[in-house]
Protein backbone atom coordinates (compact mmCIF):
# COMPACT_ATOMS: atom_id res chain seq x y z
CA UNK A 1 0.00 0.00 0.00
CA UNK A 2 1.37 3.35 -1.03
CA UNK A 3 1.81 6.14 1.50
CA UNK A 4 -0.97 8.13 -0.18
CA UNK A 5 -3.45 5.33 0.29
CA UNK A 6 -2.32 4.94 3.91
CA UNK A 7 -2.85 8.65 4.50
CA UNK A 8 -6.32 8.54 2.99
CA UNK A 9 -7.27 5.53 5.10
CA UNK A 10 -6.11 7.34 8.24
CA UNK A 11 -8.05 10.41 7.24
CA UNK A 12 -11.15 8.29 6.66
CA UNK A 13 -10.88 6.83 10.15
CA UNK A 14 -10.52 10.28 11.65
CA UNK A 15 -13.57 11.44 9.69
CA UNK A 16 -15.51 8.43 11.02
CA UNK A 17 -14.49 9.41 14.53
CA UNK A 18 -15.62 12.97 13.87
CA UNK A 19 -18.87 11.60 12.43
CA UNK A 20 -19.43 9.50 15.55
CA UNK A 21 -18.81 12.57 17.71
CA UNK A 22 -21.43 14.47 15.70
CA UNK A 23 -23.83 11.51 15.97
CA UNK A 24 -23.26 11.42 19.73
CA UNK A 25 -23.79 15.19 19.77
CA UNK A 26 -27.04 14.75 17.94
CA UNK A 27 -28.14 12.24 20.53
CA UNK A 28 -27.05 14.56 23.35
CA UNK A 29 -28.91 17.60 22.02
CA UNK A 30 -32.32 16.54 23.43
CA UNK A 31 -30.66 15.67 26.75
CA UNK A 32 -28.95 19.06 26.90
CA UNK A 33 -32.19 20.75 25.84
CA UNK A 34 -33.99 18.86 28.59
CA UNK A 35 -31.35 19.92 31.10
CA UNK A 36 -31.61 23.57 30.02
CA UNK A 37 -35.38 23.33 30.28
CA UNK A 38 -35.07 21.77 33.75
CA UNK A 39 -32.73 24.54 34.90
CA UNK A 40 -35.11 27.14 33.43
CA UNK A 41 -37.95 25.59 35.38
CA UNK A 42 -35.81 25.29 38.50
CA UNK A 43 -34.80 28.97 38.63
CA UNK A 44 -38.30 30.23 39.50
CA UNK A 45 -38.54 27.47 42.12
CA UNK A 46 -35.26 28.63 43.67
CA UNK A 47 -36.50 32.20 43.53
CA UNK A 48 -39.73 31.09 45.15
CA UNK A 49 -37.77 29.25 47.85
CA UNK A 50 -35.68 32.41 48.41
CA UNK A 51 -38.85 34.47 48.63
CA UNK A 52 -40.41 31.96 50.97
CA UNK A 53 -37.34 31.91 53.21
CA UNK A 54 -37.25 35.71 53.32
CA UNK A 55 -40.99 35.81 53.99
CA UNK A 56 -40.58 33.35 56.86
CA UNK A 57 -37.63 35.35 58.23
CA UNK A 58 -39.69 38.54 58.01
CA UNK A 59 -42.45 36.97 60.10
CA UNK A 60 -40.13 35.83 62.88
CA UNK A 61 -39.62 39.27 64.48
CA UNK A 62 -43.39 39.61 64.78
CA UNK A 63 -43.72 36.14 66.29
CA UNK A 64 -40.89 36.92 68.70
CA UNK A 65 -42.51 40.21 69.63
CA UNK A 66 -45.84 38.43 70.22
CA UNK A 67 -44.14 36.00 72.59
CA UNK A 68 -42.63 38.92 74.54
CA UNK A 69 -46.07 40.56 74.67
CA UNK A 70 -47.63 37.36 76.02
CA UNK A 71 -44.97 37.22 78.75
CA UNK A 72 -45.49 40.88 79.69
CA UNK A 73 -49.29 40.62 79.64
CA UNK A 74 -49.22 37.49 81.78
CA UNK A 75 -46.85 39.11 84.26
CA UNK A 76 -49.13 42.15 84.48
CA UNK A 77 -52.21 39.98 85.00
CA UNK A 78 -50.45 37.90 87.64
CA UNK A 79 -49.40 41.09 89.44
CA UNK A 80 -53.05 42.17 89.52
CA UNK A 81 -54.08 38.78 90.89
CA UNK A 82 -51.34 39.04 93.53
CA UNK A 83 -52.63 42.51 94.48
CA UNK A 84 -56.06 40.96 95.07
CA UNK A 85 -54.58 38.04 96.99
CA UNK A 86 -52.76 40.58 99.18
CA UNK A 87 -56.04 42.41 99.83
CA UNK A 88 -57.78 39.15 100.74
CA UNK A 89 -54.88 38.13 102.99
CA UNK A 90 -54.97 41.48 104.78
CA UNK A 91 -58.75 41.21 105.27
CA UNK A 92 -58.40 37.65 106.55
CA UNK A 93 -55.76 38.79 108.99
CA UNK A 94 -58.03 41.61 110.15
CA UNK A 95 -60.97 39.19 110.56
CA UNK A 96 -58.78 36.80 112.52
CA UNK A 97 -57.75 39.59 114.88
CA UNK A 98 -61.42 40.53 115.35
CA UNK A 99 -62.38 36.95 116.16
CA UNK A 100 -59.53 36.69 118.67
CA UNK A 101 -60.78 39.89 120.31
CA UNK A 102 -64.32 38.45 120.50
CA UNK A 103 -62.94 35.28 122.08
CA UNK A 104 -61.07 37.32 124.70
CA UNK A 105 -64.21 39.36 125.52
CA UNK A 106 -66.24 36.18 125.70
CA UNK A 107 -63.79 34.79 128.23
CA UNK A 108 -64.19 37.95 130.32
CA UNK A 109 -68.00 37.68 130.02
CA UNK A 110 -67.81 34.09 131.22
CA UNK A 111 -66.14 35.29 134.44
CA UNK A 112 -68.89 37.88 134.96
CA UNK A 113 -71.59 35.29 134.21
CA UNK A 114 -70.12 32.99 136.80
CA UNK A 115 -70.33 35.77 139.40
CA UNK A 116 -73.88 36.61 138.31
CA UNK A 117 -74.92 32.97 138.63
CA UNK A 118 -73.77 33.01 142.26
CA UNK A 119 -75.72 36.24 142.95
CA UNK A 120 -79.05 35.03 141.50
CA UNK A 121 -78.88 31.58 143.05
CA UNK A 122 -82.29 30.79 144.60
CA UNK A 123 -84.18 33.31 142.48
CA UNK A 124 -86.07 30.95 140.15
CA UNK A 125 -87.35 33.47 137.60
CA UNK A 126 -83.89 35.06 137.39
CA UNK A 127 -82.34 31.63 136.93
CA UNK A 128 -84.73 30.88 134.01
CA UNK A 129 -83.77 34.12 132.29
CA UNK A 130 -80.16 33.38 133.11
CA UNK A 131 -80.47 29.96 131.41
CA UNK A 132 -81.92 31.56 128.26
CA UNK A 133 -79.18 34.18 128.31
CA UNK A 134 -76.50 31.47 128.53
CA UNK A 135 -77.96 29.70 125.51
CA UNK A 136 -77.79 32.93 123.53
CA UNK A 137 -74.24 33.58 124.68
CA UNK A 138 -73.06 30.10 123.71
CA UNK A 139 -71.19 31.18 120.56
CA UNK A 140 -67.95 29.33 121.27
CA UNK A 141 -68.58 26.72 118.60
CA UNK A 142 -69.50 29.38 116.03
CA UNK A 143 -66.26 31.23 116.71
CA UNK A 144 -64.24 28.04 116.33
CA UNK A 145 -66.02 27.31 113.03
CA UNK A 146 -65.25 30.82 111.82
CA UNK A 147 -61.59 30.46 112.75
CA UNK A 148 -61.38 27.14 110.93
CA UNK A 149 -62.99 28.64 107.85
CA UNK A 150 -60.55 31.54 107.96
CA UNK A 151 -57.69 29.05 108.14
CA UNK A 152 -59.12 27.21 105.11
CA UNK A 153 -59.35 30.46 103.15
CA UNK A 154 -55.77 31.38 104.13
CA UNK A 155 -54.55 28.00 102.91
CA UNK A 156 -56.44 28.55 99.64
CA UNK A 157 -54.76 31.93 99.11
CA UNK A 158 -51.39 30.28 99.80
CA UNK A 159 -52.29 27.71 97.17
CA UNK A 160 -53.19 30.49 94.70
CA UNK A 161 -49.87 32.22 95.38
CA UNK A 162 -48.04 28.97 94.79
CA UNK A 163 -49.93 28.32 91.56
CA UNK A 164 -49.09 31.80 90.29
CA UNK A 165 -45.46 30.73 90.16
CA UNK A 166 -46.48 29.07 86.91
CA UNK A 167 -45.98 32.52 85.33
CA UNK A 168 -42.23 32.37 85.97
CA UNK A 169 -42.12 28.83 84.63
CA UNK A 170 -44.09 29.58 81.45
CA UNK A 171 -42.10 32.77 80.85
CA UNK A 172 -38.93 30.68 80.86
CA UNK A 173 -40.49 28.21 78.45
CA UNK A 174 -41.56 31.09 76.19
CA UNK A 175 -38.05 32.61 76.40
CA UNK A 176 -36.68 29.23 75.26
CA UNK A 177 -39.09 29.21 72.28
CA UNK A 178 -38.14 32.81 71.47
CA UNK A 179 -34.46 31.92 71.54
CA UNK A 180 -35.16 28.98 69.24
CA UNK A 181 -37.10 30.91 66.61
CA UNK A 182 -34.50 33.71 66.55
CA UNK A 183 -31.81 31.05 66.03
CA UNK A 184 -33.93 29.71 63.13
CA UNK A 185 -34.10 33.23 61.66
CA UNK A 186 -30.30 33.45 61.77
CA UNK A 187 -29.95 30.04 60.09
CA UNK A 188 -32.45 30.98 57.37
CA UNK A 189 -30.46 34.19 56.79
CA UNK A 190 -27.30 32.12 56.26
CA UNK A 191 -29.20 29.81 53.89
CA UNK A 192 -30.49 32.79 51.94
CA UNK A 193 -26.96 34.10 51.51
CA UNK A 194 -25.93 30.74 50.01
CA UNK A 195 -28.85 30.68 47.55
CA UNK A 196 -28.73 34.31 46.51
CA UNK A 197 -25.72 36.39 47.42
CA UNK A 198 -26.71 39.01 44.83
CA UNK A 199 -29.62 40.20 46.96
CA UNK A 200 -29.06 43.54 48.64
CA UNK A 201 -28.68 42.72 52.31
CA UNK A 202 -30.22 46.04 53.29
CA UNK A 203 -33.47 44.84 51.68
CA UNK A 204 -33.57 41.80 53.92
CA UNK A 205 -35.28 41.72 57.27
CA UNK A 206 -32.44 42.31 59.73
CA UNK A 207 -31.48 39.48 62.08
CA UNK A 208 -32.91 39.88 65.56
CA UNK A 209 -30.38 40.04 68.34
CA UNK A 210 -30.09 36.58 69.87
CA UNK A 211 -31.16 36.93 73.50
CA UNK A 212 -29.02 35.46 76.28
CA UNK A 213 -29.82 31.99 77.53
CA UNK A 214 -31.02 33.18 80.92
CA UNK A 215 -33.86 30.70 81.04
CA UNK A 216 -34.39 27.10 81.98
CA UNK A 217 -35.65 25.38 78.84
CA UNK A 218 -36.66 22.37 80.95
CA UNK A 219 -38.70 24.41 83.44
CA UNK A 220 -41.89 22.55 84.28
CA UNK A 221 -44.82 22.91 86.59
CA UNK A 222 -44.92 19.88 88.83
CA UNK A 223 -46.40 19.15 92.21
CA UNK A 224 -44.00 20.99 94.51
CA UNK A 225 -43.89 18.42 97.29
CA UNK A 226 -42.85 15.64 94.91
CA UNK A 227 -40.07 17.70 93.30
CA UNK A 228 -38.84 19.07 96.61
CA UNK A 229 -38.68 15.60 98.17
CA UNK A 230 -36.37 14.53 95.37
CA UNK A 231 -34.23 17.66 95.82
CA UNK A 232 -34.06 17.16 99.58
CA UNK A 233 -32.87 13.59 99.18
CA UNK A 234 -30.12 14.74 96.81
CA UNK A 235 -29.17 17.64 99.10
CA UNK A 236 -28.98 15.38 102.13
CA UNK A 237 -26.96 12.73 100.31
CA UNK A 238 -24.69 15.13 98.44
CA UNK A 239 -23.89 17.30 101.41
CA UNK A 240 -22.45 14.36 103.32
CA UNK A 241 -18.95 15.33 102.29
CA UNK A 242 -17.45 17.62 99.70
CA UNK A 243 -15.32 14.70 98.54
CA UNK A 244 -18.44 12.80 97.53
CA UNK A 245 -19.55 15.72 95.39
CA UNK A 246 -16.08 16.08 93.88
CA UNK A 247 -16.06 12.39 92.96
CA UNK A 248 -19.15 12.90 90.82
CA UNK A 249 -17.23 15.38 88.69
CA UNK A 250 -13.84 13.68 88.59
Partner 1 sequence: MDKKFLIVDDSSTMRRIVVNTLKSLGYTDYVEAEDGKVAFEKLTADDSINFIITDWNMPVMTGLELTKAIRANDKTKELPILMVTTRGIKEDIVQALQARVNNYVVKPFTPQILKDKIDLVLAN
d(CA 224, CA 73): 25
Q: Count of CB atoms within 10 A of residue 130's CB?
A: 17
Give 95's contacts (C-beta < 8 A, 6+ positions apart): 150
Task: Give the number of residues written for the chain.
Answer: 250
Stretch that binds partner 1, among 36-44, 48-56, 112-120, 232-240 (CB under 8 A): 232-240
CB-nearer residue toward partner 1: 30 or 212: 212
Per-residue x/- marks for partner 1, 142-161, CB under 8 A?
A: ----------------x--x
Stretch that binds partner 1, among 47-55, 94-102, 177-185, 234-242 (CB under 8 A): 234-242
Stretch that binds partner 1, among 22-30, 31-39, 179-187, 217-225 (CB under 8 A): 217-225
d(CA 245, CA 62): 46
The stretches of 120-164 forming alpha helices (DSSP H) are 124-137, 140-163
Contact status: 167 vs partner 1 (CB under 8 A): yes
Taking alpha carbons only, the member of 161, 156, 153, 183 closest to residue 63 is: 183
Contacts with partner 1, residue ranges (CB under 8 A): 75, 78-79, 82, 85-86, 89, 158, 161-169, 171-172, 212, 214-216, 218-222, 224-225, 227-228, 230-231, 234-235, 238-239, 245-246, 248-249
Amino acid sequence: MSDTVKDLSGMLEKLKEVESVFKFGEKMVPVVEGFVSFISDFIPIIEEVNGSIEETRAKIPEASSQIDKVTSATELAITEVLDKVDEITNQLSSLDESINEIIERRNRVEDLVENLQKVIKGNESAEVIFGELMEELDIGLTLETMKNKLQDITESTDQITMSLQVQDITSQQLAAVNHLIISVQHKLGSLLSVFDDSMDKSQRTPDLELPGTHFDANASYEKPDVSQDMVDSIVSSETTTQDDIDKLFS
